[in-house]
């Protein structure tokens, strides 16, 4: 294997500069959304993460994808990782990965990517091969349970807001009730 580092490959785009690892954490000193990870409700219009992914996708040829994926999987294996362990660590599953700038950048790139909805759809219902008995299992059941939990959480949140508003409205009416007695 050559001496090419992850940063040589990952940061090859001219769109942005490498973060200065010796500097203080800019997320603590700035209000800029792109200096820190995005909150649950934020969707920036054109984050640098999205622009970089588009630039990399434009450079990538169809023939180059399979060897790149296989090389990446082989490298992960050489580091004692497989895809589930890698995604777990990347997705806030490892304490030392959470504050790391490079991991934060990669995680945010995935979260704001155009590709994420398609990835989730294919995980939910993978394309079937020509041989129906050899189809991928997918994460259909897991994603259904997750989706149901998300819907439950949203409904509970909405019910709480409605209850708070109703309770607030009842408090405003109580003095009028007392005056009528």
Helix (H) or strand (E) holding 36: none
Per the model's pLDDT, the better-predicted residue between 159 and 6 turns out to be 159
Rounded-to-integer distance, Cα 128 and Cα 131, Å:
8
The torsion of the CA quartet 28, 29, 30, 36, rounded to 10 degrees, works out to -30
Domain residue limits, the chain? 6-113
Alpha-carbon separation of residue 10 from 20, 97, 133 (angstroms): 15, 17, 38
Q: Report whether pLDDT(172) > 60.
A: no
Give pLDDT, residue 58. Answer: 92
Question: What would the pLDDT profile of 51-78 be if each residue is shown by its tens digit?
Answer: 899 999 999 999 999 999 999 999 999 9
Model confidence band, residue 20 (pLDDT cutoffs 50, 70, 90) = very low
Alpha-carbon separation of residue 19 from 7, 97, 102 (angstroms): 11, 16, 8
Give pLDDT, residue 135. Answer: 60
Q: Report whether pLDDT(108) > 50.
A: yes
The percentage of residues in the chain with a pLDDT greater than 90, rounded to a whole number, is 51
């Amino acid at each position: 294997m050559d001496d090419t580092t992850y940063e040589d490959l990952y940061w090859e785009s001219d769109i942005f500069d490498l973060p200065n690892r010796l500097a203080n954490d800019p997320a603590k000193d700035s209000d800029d959304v792109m200096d820190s990870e995005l909150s649950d409700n934020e969707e920036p219009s054109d984050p640098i993460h999205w622009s970089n992914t588009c630039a990399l996708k434009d450079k990538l040829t169809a023939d180059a994808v399979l060897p790149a994926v296989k090389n990446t999987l082989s490298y992960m294996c050489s580091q004692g990782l497989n895809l589930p362990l890698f995604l777990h660590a990347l997705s806030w599953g490892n304490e030392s990965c959470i504050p790391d700038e490079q991991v934060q950048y990669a995680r945010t790139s995935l979260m704001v990517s155009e590709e994420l909805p398609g990835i989730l759809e294919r995980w939910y219902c993978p394309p079937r091969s020509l041989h129906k008995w050899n189809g991928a299992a997918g994460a259909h059941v897991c994603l259904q349970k997750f989706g149901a939990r998300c819907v439950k959480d949203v409904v509970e949140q909405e019910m709480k807001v409605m209850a708070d508003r109703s309770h607030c409205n009842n408090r405003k009416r109580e003095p009028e009730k007392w005056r009528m007695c």
